[in-house]
Amino acid sequence: MPHPRLSGGWAEQRALRLLQQRGWRLRDRNWRCRWGELDLVLQKHERLLLVEVKGRCSGVDGWGVAALRAGKRGRLERAWRCWLAEHPADTARTVELVYALVPLPPRQGAVRWIRAGF
């Protein structure tokens, strides 16, 4: 099994490529503050997209769905507020939170996108 950091980076890169093909522009990747990390922050016109990426080799935890509990959402929300504090010009933009569940090799398959809200 590959190292988790390498697997996570691969999964993030796959999700990022798919979103860039759809016209999204990367603003931040692996942005950190005391509350947590934001995997991907992208922009398309006046919209921001916050993407939490979960790469999995097996479906034991629903391909990452089990990792998306209320505690994780709370940490994401606090980290998002910190990001906005550093980027005050973006506070008026519409934001959407999306989870990208990415099957890792040797598995194949489509990325599963789950829309969420704060």
The tokens for 23 are 């016209």
Give the separation between CA 8 and CA 26, rounded to whole angstroms. 17
pLDDT at residue number 100? 93
* pTM attached to this predicted model: 0.85
Domain of 48: which CATH number? 3.40.1350.10
| Residue whose entry in the numeric block shows the structure tokens 């997209």 | 49
- How many domains, the chain? 1
Domain that holds residue 38: 4-116
Tell me the pLDDT of the chain averaged across its residues.
86
Supply the DSSP symbol for 53.
E
pLDDT at residue number 71? 79
User: 12-21, 37-46, 56-65: which range is least confident on average?
Assistant: 56-65
Cα dist. 18→14, 15, 21, 69 in Å?
6, 5, 5, 25
Cα dist. 44→9, 26, 59, 71 in Å?
22, 9, 32, 28
pLDDT at residue number 55? 86
| Residue 83 scores a pLDDT above 90 | yes
More confident residue, 62 or 42: 42
